Amino acid sequence: MSRDLTLRSLLSGSALPPSEARLLMSHVLEQRYQLPRSALLSRDEMALSREAIFQWQELQSKRLAGEPIAYLIGKRGFHNIELEVAPGVLIPRPETELLVEIGLREIQRIEQEVVGVQVLDLGTGSGAIALAIAHAAPNVMVRATDQSSEALVIAKGNAQNLGLQSRVQFTQGNWYEALIDKTPFDVILSNPPYIASQDPHLGQGDLRFEPISALTDHGNGLSCIEDIVQGALAHLKPMGLIAVEHGFDQSDPVVSLMKTAGFCDIQIHQDLAGHNRVVSARK
């Protein structure tokens, strides 16, 4: 292997889309040389070491085999924070930022009258929703649950990295069973597994590499949402808000679930792509 392969020649010879090649190369530069992303331009004549070239080629092959960029570089930006991610957790999606925004709007409204707003994030994964909320709303207390111990290890690490461990408490278990006391919440947020088990998307793209229990309910896609909606009344304060993310074609059944459970002020929210993505409602 030649030692005088330059950054520029490695990038231009890559079979990856240029944006992906740059992301992976800046990860190599950061890890091997503690260089910032701007070095891709300012140091493009730099010759990489044998080890750095080996790492680059390995990352490149894994990406060409379909592995998600976020797992390869071990991180993903979400809302205003950066999260560590690994194959034990779902890679946070931009559309889930809508759920965070709905939660923050409600927190802002309640904080005009109440101090110490209590928020619950069910199925926290990497901690994305819980930590984005705690980061943006410095006076709230957040409870975050997941049934996956692997996810909770990653989520707790993220809370530590962001200095949010004193305001976000993580517990393990099946939805509300993970809660250790009966204190009601002002806001319940959840992005549960909502892909139907027969959906062909499960065998495509990044989803092939993500934990199956984070993606599907192993049924028609609605059973986790149903459990969460049905349990919410018992865990919300009067007028408390629940907001649940769902698939682009699931808003009608989710609205029906909310109505049947007895919620009021039911609203459908659209993501930036214009898809119905979240249903919110009040107790």
Ligand X SMILES: C[S@@+](CC[C@H](N)C(=O)[O-])C[C@H]1O[C@@H](n2cnc3c(N)ncnc32)[C@H](O)[C@@H]1O
Interface with ligand X (CB under 6 A): 90, 92, 96, 123-126, 128-129, 145-148, 151, 174-175, 191-193, 213-214, 224
Strand partners, 83: 76
Least separation in angstroms between residue 15's CB and ligand X is 30
Q: Which CB atom, from 8 or from 93, has the smaller least distance to ligand X?
A: 93
Q: Which CB atom, from 16 or from 73, has the smaller least distance to ligand X?
A: 73
Least separation in angstroms between residue 110's CB and ligand X is 22
Q: Which CB atom, from 7 or from 178, has the smaller least distance to ligand X?
A: 178
Least separation in angstroms between residue 90's CB and ligand X is 4
Least separation in angstroms between residue 66's CB and ligand X is 20
Least separation in angstroms between residue 264's CB and ligand X is 26
Least separation in angstroms between residue 2's CB and ligand X is 41
Residue holding tokens 């520029």?
Answer: 8
Strands 264-270 and 276-282 turn out to be antiparallel
Q: Which CB atom, from 60 or from 126, has the smaller least distance to ligand X?
A: 126
Q: Which CB atom, from 68 or from 125, has the smaller least distance to ligand X?
A: 125
Nearest alpha carbon to residue 220 among 194, 253, 251: 194
Least separation in angstroms between residue 135's CB and ligand X is 15
Q: What is the 3-state secondary structure (H, E, C) of the chain?
A: CCCCCEHHHHHHCCCCCHHHHHHHHHHHHHHHHCCCCCHHHHCCCCECCHHHHHHHHHHHHHHHCCCCHHHHHCEEEECCEEEECCCCCCCCCHHHHHHHHHHHHHHHHHCCCCCCCEEEEECCCCCHHHHHHHHHCCCCEEEEEECCHHHHHHHHHHHHHCCCCCCEEEEECCHHHHCCCCCCEEEEEECCCCECCCCHHHHCHHHHHCCHHHHECCCCCCHHHHHHHHHHHHHEEEEEEEEEECCCCCHHHHHHHHHHHCCEEEEEEECCCCCEEEEEEEC
Token pair in block for residue 149 = 């111990």
Q: Which CB atom, from 231 or from 240, has the smaller least distance to ligand X?
A: 231
How far, rounded to the nearest angstrom, does the alpha carbon of residue 261 sit from its chain's CA centroid? 27
Least separation in angstroms between residue 234's CB and ligand X is 16
Q: Which CB atom, from 194 or from 263, has the smaller least distance to ligand X?
A: 194
Q: Which CB atom, from 52 or from 69, has the smaller least distance to ligand X?
A: 69
